[in-house]
Amino acid sequence: MVQMTDVTKIYDSSGTVALDGVDLTINEGEFVFLVGPSGSGKTTMMKLITGEVRATGGEIIVNDFDMMKIKQRKLSKVRRTLGVIFQDYRLIENMTVYDNVAFAMRVVGASGKNIARRVPYVLELVGLDGREHRFPNELSGGEQQRVAIARALVNNPRMIVADEPTGNLDPVRSLELMLLFEKINEMGTTILVVTHEKELVNAFSKRVITIEEGHVISDGMDGYYSYEHQ
Amino acid sequence: MSISRGSYLIREGFRSIRTHGFMSFASVTIITACLIIMGSIVLLSLNIDALIKDLEQENEVVAFVDESIASDEDAAALRGEIMAVDNIMSADFVSRTEAMNSFMSKYDDRLMEGLDESVFRHRFVIHLVDISDMAETRTALESLPGIVKVNAHIEYADRFVHVRNIVSVVSLILTVILTFVSFFIMSNTIKLTTYGRREEIAIMKMVGATNAFIRTPFVIEGLILGILGGVFGFLAVWGIYSVLNSSIMDSLTGSFVTLIPFRRIMLPLLISYVGVGILIGVFGGMNAIRNYLKV
């Protein structure tokens, strides 16, 4: 669950206003696309949710944590309730598929027994069974992104935040990935996908939030409300 | 922290040393080199200190006994009172007869013809615990009944104390500087290994690793490298010291300069080397990773 009230973000270094008075609620179990052109504030929004940057003003609640008040060293608690996915996958090259996923469980202190039970289940869920012992560079882009999804899912997060997850994939793989997100969403996990791929967004009938120049300009079920239409 | 988690973090520390073999080697070499230089300075100053102490012992104070105390026994009995004075290490009684004999043996007999021993006084040859307090001790000795005069080379004593103070201060300053130098080099070396792993650290942060969890393998890595550096530095200094010692013994210098035997300083040296190695390693590791944890 994400709740933003009058959120502003101004970057100190450049003085750039990335977000300006944003109000937004994403409820538990929702599937939401966050769209907008480059530099619109999408990535800032995502970084505010994961705690990578702090807002200049306003209120942000993420999975019951007050992101304006939380101490830097307590951010790990928020992140354990989130699964984060990036455009460039961010896998550890010298670890196998299995270890890349197991690593996320080790980090949060899961027992060896739990890891051995949970990792194969998640790999099967994302369709990577049989690839456990491969290294990331032996996999296709789509498969690598599935490893990243498995890693995001393995700790059973309340919400998945994906930043341009299909940016490096062809249309067919992108669609497959979205279907996988839909399947995960049906199991109860909130999904927030940041993207600028219009066709992909319009292929699903989901809530779409459009952001431009730091403002939310549309929020609804009627597909990609393009800034081109303005 | 559970046992399995603890052992995982320790294994990670060792794994990092193995996978960053060259960097680990560089860190250990740097710590070793700094410790060798540091150790050489400390050993040099210890030896200079010991040498000065020996020389100080040559700087004796002579207290002359009043002529009215004629017999050897009565004069020698003053020793108890002298020893009761602060800062006295030893006091050896020399009778007037012994004093005359010693004097005469140094000069031509004819010069001393007809010389009577009564010309000499009974005396005590005194060594002090700390020559920097020589002036106070002389005053105390002079105030004793039965002592008429005290000869003390206070200006020499002051000079010795001065040299010794300079040596201690200089070696302390150099040691502190070198500790900082090794700390920063160590820290930068570990920083280079972390630079290659910043992605890994960023991923760890993203999946909810605590700072302690991320830091521990680096601290363990620093700890191991620090201990290795300390042990190698100790062995190297031992070797250098032994070679130096035997070459001094073999040469002419050995007749008037002797080094402190290594086994007397071995244990404190090993302990401080490993201790300094651990400090440099652990704090170097913590310092190196600090910037990556602020995400």
Q: Kindly report the three-state secondary structure assignment for every residue of A31-56.
A: EEEEECCCCCCHHHHHHHHHCCCCCC
Answer yes or no: is A71 within a domain. no
Å between B241 CA and nearest CA of chain A: 45
Do B35 and B27 meet the contact criterion of CB atoms below 8 Å apart? no
Q: Band of the pLDDT at B88, cuts 50, 70, 90? A: confident
- Please, which residues bridge with residue B5 across strands? none
Per-residue model confidence (pLDDT) at position A54: 93
- Taking each helix axis as running N to C, give the angle between helix B21-58 and helix B262-290, from 0 to 180 degrees, rounded to the nearest 10: 140
Do A85 and A32 meet the contact criterion of CB atoms below 8 Å apart? no
How far apart are alpha carbons B170 and B148 in whole angstroms?
A: 42
Q: Band of the pLDDT at B102, cuts 50, 70, 90? A: confident
Per-residue model confidence (pLDDT) at position A155: 92
- Confidence check: pLDDT of B13 > 70: yes
Handedness of CA A4, A49, A26, A34 (dihedral sign): positive
List CB contacts (< 8 A) between A75 and chain B.
205
Q: Do A77 and B208 touch (CB under 8 A)?
A: yes
Q: Between A63 and B198, whose confidence is greater?
A: A63
Instruction: Specify the range with the lowest mean pLDDT, choosing from A49-58, A178-187, B277-286.
Output: B277-286
- Confidence check: pLDDT of A228 > 60: no
B3 CB within 8 Å of a chain A CB: no
Q: Which of A198, A216, A183 is nearest to A20 (CA)?
A: A216
Q: What average pLDDT does this structure show over B120-129?
A: 87
Answer yes or no: is A70 within a domain. no
Which amino acid is it at A230?
Q
- Please, which residues bridge with residue A19 across strands? A9
Per-residue model confidence (pLDDT) at position A230: 44
| pLDDT tens per residue across span B226-251 | 899 889 999 999 999 888 888 887 77
B199 CB within 8 Å of a chain A CB: yes
What count of residues does chain A have? 230
| pLDDT tens per residue across span B172-219 | 888 788 778 777 776 777 677 677 778 788 888 888 888 888 888 888
Answer yes or no: is A149 within a domain. yes
Q: Which of B22, B35, B138 is nearest to B82 (CA)?
A: B138
Answer yes or no: is A107 within a domain. yes
- Spell out the SS3 assignment of chain B: CCHHHHHHHHHHHHHHHHHCHHHHHHHHHHHHHHHHHHHHHHHHHHHHHHHHHHHHHHCCEEEEECCCCCCHHHHHCCHHHHHCCCCEEEEEEECHHHHHHHHHHHCCHHHHCCCCHHHCCCEEEEEECCHHHHHHHHHHHHCCCCEEEEECCHHHHHHHHHHHHHHHHHHHHHHHHHHHHHHHHHHHHHHHHHHCCHHHHHHHHHCCCCHHHHHHHHHHHHHHHHHHHHHHHHHHHHHHHHHHHHHHHHCHHHHCCCCCCHHHHHHHHHHHHHHHHHHHHHHHHHHHHHHHHCC
Candidates B16, B206, B294: best to mutate against A (most CBs of A within 10 A) is B206
Q: Do B209 and A107 touch (CB under 8 A)?
A: yes
Q: Between A230 and A173, whose confidence is greater?
A: A173
B200 CB within 8 Å of a chain A CB: yes
Q: What average pLDDT does this structure show over A146-175?
A: 92
How far apart are alpha carbons B170 and B210 in whole angstroms?
A: 44
Q: Band of the pLDDT at A190, cuts 50, 70, 90? A: very high
Per-residue model confidence (pLDDT) at position B214: 84
Answer yes or no: is A204 within a domain. no
B184 CB within 8 Å of a chain A CB: no
**Percentage with pLDDT > 90 across chain B:** 3
Å between B209 CA and nearest CA of chain A: 5
- Please, which residues bridge with residue A3 across strands? A25, A61
Do A178 and A204 meet the contact criterion of CB atoms below 8 Å apart? yes
List CB contacts (< 8 A) between B210 and chain A.
73, 76
Helix extents (H) in A39-170: 42-50, 75-79, 97-107, 112-125, 141-153
B214: nearest CA partner in chain A:
A107
Task: Residue A133: give the domain boundaries.
Answer: 91-156
**Mean pLDDT score of chain B, rounded to an integer?**
81
Which residues have a Cβ under 8 Å from the Cβ of B212 and sit 6 or more positions away? none
Q: Which of A90, A94, A108 sits opposite B208 (nearest CB)?
A: A108
- Confidence check: pLDDT of A29 > 70: yes
**For residue A222, which phi and psi values (nearest 5 degrees)?**
-95, 40
Q: What average pLDDT does this structure show over A11-21?
A: 90
| pLDDT tens per residue across span B22-70 | 777 887 888 888 888 888 888 888 888 787 777 777 778 888 888 888 7
- Confidence check: pLDDT of B256 > 70: no
| CA-based end-to-end distance of chain B | 23
How far apart are alpha carbons A227 and B1 in whole angstroms?
A: 52
Question: Total domain count for chain A?
Answer: 1
Q: Band of the pLDDT at A62, cuts 50, 70, 90? A: very high
Q: Band of the pLDDT at B171, cuts 50, 70, 90? A: confident
Answer yes or no: is A125 within a domain. yes
Per-residue model confidence (pLDDT) at position B138: 87
Name every residue in A having a CB less than 8 A away from some CB of B.
Answer: 50, 52, 72-73, 75-80, 82, 84, 90, 92, 94, 103-104, 106-109, 111-112, 151, 155
List CB contacts (< 8 A) between A90 and chain B.
199, 202-203, 206
Per-residue model confidence (pLDDT) at position B254: 60
Å between B214 CA and nearest CA of chain A: 8
B12 CB within 8 Å of a chain A CB: no
Per-residue model confidence (pLDDT) at position A79: 94
- Please, which residues bridge with residue B65 across strands? B147
Cβ–Cβ pairs < 8 A, chains A and B: 53
B208: nearest CA partner in chain A:
A76
- Please give the domain boundaries of chain B with CATH numbers for all domains: 3-55+159-293 (no CATH), 60-152 (3.30.70.3040)
**Mean pLDDT score of chain A, rounded to an integer?**
91
Answer yes or no: is A131 within a domain. yes
Instruction: Specify the range with the lowest mean pLDDT, choosing from A192-206, B100-114, B135-149.
Output: B100-114
Q: Do A111 and B4 touch (CB under 8 A)?
A: yes
Per-residue model confidence (pLDDT) at position A53: 92
B111 CB within 8 Å of a chain A CB: no
Answer yes or no: is A203 within a domain. no
